[in-house]
Amino acid sequence: MSLNTEEKQSLINQHQTHPTDTGSAEIQVAMLTERISKLSDHLQGNIHDYSSRQGLLKMIGQRKRLLNYVKVKSEKRYTQLISKLSIRG
């Protein structure tokens, strides 16, 4: 499940750190989170879609690695990001 241009632009505007920021780790995590939620909804109705499930697990792993990177760089940015996206309980 991909994101259209408007969805990507709104995510970039919400999570950018400076006006020309289009690919920081925070933006990448936000985009992956949105794609993960869409794909999770898809898999609720299509239980036997194993290739999409494998892609979902890869995206979750990528998001985890990016979150670890942000956490190492700045604990404050990490806590702000996970609270903003509400991805960890």
pLDDT per position as a tens digit, 39-81: 999 999 999 999 999 999 999 999 999 999 999 999 999 999 9
Torsion, Cα 50 56 59 64, to 10 degrees, reads: -120
- Give me the residue label for tokens 């609720």: 44
**Domain residue limits, the chain:** 5-14+22-85
| Cα–Cα dist 53/43, whole Å | 7
Helix axes 50-73, 25-45, angle to 10 degrees: 150
pLDDT per position as a tens digit, 1-50: 678 999 999 999 998 888 898 889 999 999 999 999 999 999 999 999 99
Query: Are 48 and 38 a contacting pair, CB within 8 Å?
Result: no
Ordered alpha helix ranges (H), 1-89? 5-15, 25-45, 50-73, 75-85
Looking at the domain covering 5-14+22-85, what would its CATH class be?
mainly alpha
Considering the entire predicted model, what is its pTM? 0.90
